[in-house]
Amino acid sequence: MKIRNEVKVGILVTAALAALLWGLNYLKGKDVFTSRNKYYAVYSSVDGLVASNPVLMNGYRIGIVNDITFMPDNSGRLLVSLLVEKDVFVSRNSIAKIYNSDLIGTKALRIDLGNATDRLENGDTLMAELEQGLADKVGKELGPLREKTEALVVSIDSMVNMLKTVFDPNTRKNLQAGIGHMNNTLASFDEMMNSDKGKLKIMIDNLASITTNLKENNAQITNILNNLSQVSDTLAGEHFASTIRKAEEVMEQTNQVMMKINSGEGSLGQLVNDKGLYNNLDSTATSLDALLKDMKDNPKRYVHFSVFGKKK
């Protein structure tokens, strides 16, 4: 059977198109002859991830990003589908993490294997996470440095303005005048210090002399103070003990006197305890008071005298 040329051309064109499609898919990372599992991950932002970006595990390529679409719930989240080779074990608690695969920011997706023992089935959803890029880390680290730099620039600007004010002609004159007054003051003070007749010099010399004497006689002064302290302590102790002893003797004597008075011994005891004696003394005192009053009122009754002699 003879095949016509048109059929041969058709078969050749079909094979070429198939090879072209397979080559394009292979370049994109899609191998139509290899069976793969499809997994999903949901992100709030894919940060530049596109379809055909590689999927890696421990640095080894195990698949590709198949498609990126918005979630049908109108939340703005993105659904990423992954094609992973079937012979690769992916645990159920693994994490699909988007990260920078190089310094220029090319995105890739990495599966961090979890510690679960059960396998993720075809069509299941992975936990999703967006890793902070190098630029973000650098920006975060440089943020405080930028704030400090801005504060330093403000301080430098303030210092420059202050220097402009200092170097103003009027300010320079004032500074020169102030420095001149300070020099005069220092010269006067120096003269007071160096002059032999200066009161300040004399006073400082006297203070130095006193300080030197105190330093040289420090040991003697310390001994004197210790002796005075011991003497005062001794005197205070003896005086206090003597006072206590005398007070005890006085109290004992007073107690004895009161006991004798209460028992009727002695004149005071009899006077206190003998009621008749008390009454007699009271009566005598009353009579004596009446006699003295009568002598005062009628002195002639008790005293007789005459200038020319006694009457017969």
Give the tens place of pLDDT for each residue, 58-99: 989 999 999 999 999 989 999 999 999 988 999 999 999 998
Sole residue written with tokens 């596109």: 50
* Cβ(18)–Cβ(57) below 8 Å: no
Say what the pLDDT of residue 96 is.
92
Say what the pLDDT of residue 292 is.
81
> Greater confidence, 274 or 108?
108
**Which tokens is 100 given?**
């920078």
| 229-271 residue pLDDT tens | 776 666 555 566 677 778 888 888 888 777 776 776 666 666 6
Name the 3-class secondary structure at 45.
coil
Can you give the pTM of this predicted structure? 0.39
Give residue 184's identity as a one-letter amino acid code.
N
**pLDDT higher than threshold 90 for residue 151:** no
Contacts for 267 with CB less than 8 Å, ≥ 6 apart: none
Name the 3-class secondary structure at 28.
coil
Give residue 156's identity as a one-letter amino acid code.
I
**pLDDT higher than threshold 60 for residue 197:** no
Summary count for the chain: helices (H), strands (E): 7, 7
Name the 3-class secondary structure at 71.
coil
Say what the pLDDT of residue 312 is.
46
Say what the pLDDT of residue 230 is.
74
**pLDDT higher than threshold 90 for residue 40:** yes
User: What is the overall mean pLDDT for the chain?
Assistant: 77
* Cβ(51)–Cβ(67) below 8 Å: yes
Q: Which H or E element spans position 253?
A: helix 218-263
| 50-60 residue pLDDT tens | 888 999 999 89
> Greater confidence, 188 or 269?
188
> Which range, of 73-82, 118-127, 159-168, averages the lowest pLDDT?
159-168
**pLDDT higher than threshold 50 for residue 300:** yes
Whole-number Å distance between alpha carbons of 282 and 284: 5
Q: What is the CA radius of gyration of the chain?
A: 63
Q: What mean pLDDT is predicted for residues 120-127?
A: 91
Name the 3-class secondary structure at 229.
helix
Share of the chain above pLDDT 90, in %: 16
Say what the pLDDT of residue 112 is.
92
**pLDDT higher than threshold 70 for residue 277:** no
Strand order in the sheet with 78-85: 36-43, 78-85, 60-70, 54-57, 107-112, 95-100, 127-130
Say what the pLDDT of residue 134 is.
53
Say what the pLDDT of residue 77 is.
93
> Which range, of 11-20, 64-73, 159-168, 175-184, averages the lowest pLDDT?
159-168
> Greater confidence, 187 or 312?
187
Whole-number Å distance between alpha carbons of 236 and 61: 101
Say what the pLDDT of residue 212 is.
84
Share of the chain above pLDDT 70, in %: 72
Sole residue written with tokens 């009899």: 270
Say what the pLDDT of residue 238 is.
58
| 198-211 residue pLDDT tens | 666 677 777 888 88
| 22-33 residue pLDDT tens | 666 655 555 555
Say what the pLDDT of residue 273 is.
65
Whole-number Å distance between alpha carbons of 43 and 81: 11
Q: What mean pLDDT is predicted for residues 295-310?
A: 64
> Greater confidence, 113 or 35?
113
Phi, psi values for residue 74, rounded to 5°:
60, 30
Torsion region of 128: left, alpha or beta (phi above 0 gives left; psi -120 to 50 gives alpha): beta
Whole-number Å distance between alpha carbons of 193 and 177: 24
Half-sphere exposure of 17 (CA within 13 A, CB side): 6
Half-sphere exposure of 117 (CA within 13 A, CB side): 0
